[in-house]
């Protein structure tokens, strides 16, 4: 197949492209056309998100769309590009990196504001570092579903519009088929973008990037000038990152590769590689098979985020000059993160106000869950139901108790918990907890089953999972089995950086 740029498109496909990141100039990106794939087909389409964005009616029905979102066609008004950035990977300075297999098609004006459209897996770029620029079907399905699962949980994330597949071959540990996921976000600017220009001594570009982020995404900081402006930027990113880490931890999400080039300055969950939602609770769980030292284990994520913020702070120092205000901005993490964690855990427990012993109550619960590797999501859901049912049943907590081997430990904790709940309206409290503690998460084995079916040409489970994950707090009786405990074979699934 030869590459073709569409000279014209039907009126319904005239998307409202606007210049955003590209206005910064060629120091920030390289124009790059996607590389076509043979015989593309739909794997998953996010109808709800397409409607939210306000994309044209019958958007999916135009053959140009399938071709364009596979990288076989460039829609009129789009100007594909790959951006350059650097970063620390597994704690080591890696130097220049960049969009090695991601291509931005540009920004469009949507019902939710200006959004950048990006293809992941559309072929090599100037930053591919001898890579092929491709993504495989399994990883593309995982990112598609994970992006929308996080959104359904109310956790800031890049979004996913669709996945396309192709019989085109890609070699990883074995030969696999290619796929392209269309990602959407207000911006894909990473900590590593700032690190790049600071490391190159390109201070004018560093300032331009900071001003761009403030103007387009943090306009409330625009009245500031000089060093205070960039201190405020650092503090804003620090606050957003702290809040995001609290959300990850409370839902049991493991990222797997928290390199600085995978950290969003907007506080979005970015780059779904070897991620996982916890099954049995293990604070030391490592979801990335390639993370041999456990740098990105679940319990270490908040500290790693703090370390990454210091890298960002160092990159911004040429604009800030004095160390003290930068350190103060970074130190705000130490108050924001634990405060956000405390509040989130109180909500999970149905506690409407703060008491002195709440943190100890949570820590003792987590130790009990750790001791017996209790399923994290099932525990919280059963606890929510038990609180609601305890308004009229003396046996409401038995299903929760059954999750523990050391039941006496749970019994002692539950006594303290019920005393803490006091005379609260149990029915109303339980209902609120059910809106806080999801019934459905993207468990590894569910993603694996969807991938296996997709490899056989059946994409129904991808779409069904998408619908359920968009509403993870609802019941979905047809898919009750997806809310159950993970099967034994789920622990054998290995997820690495290879995708």
Longest CA–CA separation in the chain, Å: 72
Distance CA 411, CA 420 (A): 14
Cα dist. 57→60, 71, 88 in Å?
Answer: 8, 22, 43
Q: Look at the block and give the residue holding tokens 């459209």.
A: 117
Phi, psi angle pair for 269, to nearest 5°: -70, 125
Give Rg (Cα) of the chain.
Answer: 23
**Catalytic one among 99, 261, 279, 375?**
261
- Characterize 239-268 residue by residue with b for buried, 16 or more Cβ atoms within 10 angstroms of its Cβ, and e for exposed: bbbbbbbbbbbbbbbbbbbbbbbbbbbbbb
Is 132 labeled as catalytic in the residue annotation? no
Asked if residue 156 lies in contact with residue 56, where contact means CB atoms within 8 angstroms, the answer is no
Distance CA 56, CA 65 (A): 11
Distance CA 341, CA 348 (A): 10
Asked if residue 87 lies in contact with residue 94, where contact means CB atoms within 8 angstroms, the answer is yes
Q: Which of 118, 145, 119, 494 is nearest to 290 (CA)?
A: 494
- Characterize 169-186 residue by residue with b for buried, 16 or more Cβ atoms within 10 angstroms of its Cβ, and e for exposed: ebeeeeebbbbbbbbbbb
Q: Which of 132, 150, 135 is nearest to 253 (CA)?
A: 150
Cα dist. 19→193, 222, 266, 318 in Å?
Answer: 19, 20, 19, 27
> Which pair of structure tokens corresponds to residue 21?
């990141």
Catalytically active residues, by annotation? 261
């Amino acid at each position: 197949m030869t590459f073709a740029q569409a000279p014209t498109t039907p009126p319904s496909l005239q998307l409202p492209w606007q210049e955003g990141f590209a206005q910064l100039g060629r120091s920030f990106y390289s124009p790059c056309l996607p590389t076509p794939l043979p015989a593309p087909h739909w794997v998953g389409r996010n109808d709800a998100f397409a409607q939210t964005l306000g994309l044209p009616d019958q958007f999916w029905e135009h053959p140009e769309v399938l071709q364009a979102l596979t990288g076989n066609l460039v829609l009129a008004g789009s100007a594909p590009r790959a951006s350059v950035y650097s970063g620390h990977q597994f704690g080591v300075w890696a130097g220049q990196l960049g969009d090695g297999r991601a291509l931005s098609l540009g920004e469009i004006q949507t019902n939710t504001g200006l959004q950048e459209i990006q293809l992941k897996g559309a072929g090599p770029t100037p930053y591919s570092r001898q890579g092929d620029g491709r993504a495989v079907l399994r990883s593309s399905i995982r990112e598609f579903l994970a992006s929308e699962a996080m959104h359904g949980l109310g956790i800031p994330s890049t979004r996913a519009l669709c996945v396309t597949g192709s019989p085109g071959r890609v070699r990883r540990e074995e030969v696999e088929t290619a796929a392209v996921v269309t990602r959407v976000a207000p911006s894909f600017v990473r900590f590593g973008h700032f690190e790049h220009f600071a490391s190159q001594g390109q201070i004018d570009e560093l300032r331009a990037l900071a001003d761009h982020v403030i103007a387009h995404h943090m306009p409330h900081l625009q009245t500031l000038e000089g060093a205070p402006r960039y201190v405020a930027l650092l503090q804003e990113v620090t606050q957003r990152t702290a809040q995001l880490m609290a959300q990850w931890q409370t839902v049991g999400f493991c990222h797997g590769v928290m390199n600085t080039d995978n950290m969003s300055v907007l506080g979005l969950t970015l780059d779904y590689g070897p991620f996982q939602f916890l099954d049995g609770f293990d604070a030391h769980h490592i979801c990335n098979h390639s993370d041999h030292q456990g740098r990105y284990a679940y319990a270490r994520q908040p500290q790693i985020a703090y370390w990454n913020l210091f890298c960002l702070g160092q990159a911004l120092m040429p604009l800030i000059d004095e160390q003290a205000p930068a350190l103060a901005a970074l130190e705000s993490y130490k108050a924001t993160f634990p405060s956000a964690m405390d509040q989130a855990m109180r909500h999970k427990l149905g506690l409407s106000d703060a008491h002195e012993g709440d943190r100890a109550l949570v820590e003792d619960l987590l130790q009990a869950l750790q001791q017996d590797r209790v399923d994290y999501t099932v525990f919280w859901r059963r606890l929510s139901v038990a609180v609601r049912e305890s308004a009229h049943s003396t046996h409401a907590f038995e299903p929760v108790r059954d999750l523990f081997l050391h039941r006496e430990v749970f019994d002692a904790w539950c006594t303290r918990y019920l005393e803490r709940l006091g005379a609260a309206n149990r029915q109303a409290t339980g209902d609120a907890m059910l809106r806080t503690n999801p019934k459905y998460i993207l468990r590894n084995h569910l993603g694996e089953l969807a991938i296996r079916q997709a490899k056989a040409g059946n994409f129904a489970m991808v779409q069904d999972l998408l619908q359920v994950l968009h509403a993870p707090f609802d019941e979905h009786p047809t898919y009750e089995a997806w809310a159950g405990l993970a099967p034994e074979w789920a622990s054998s699934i290995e997820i690495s950086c290879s995708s």
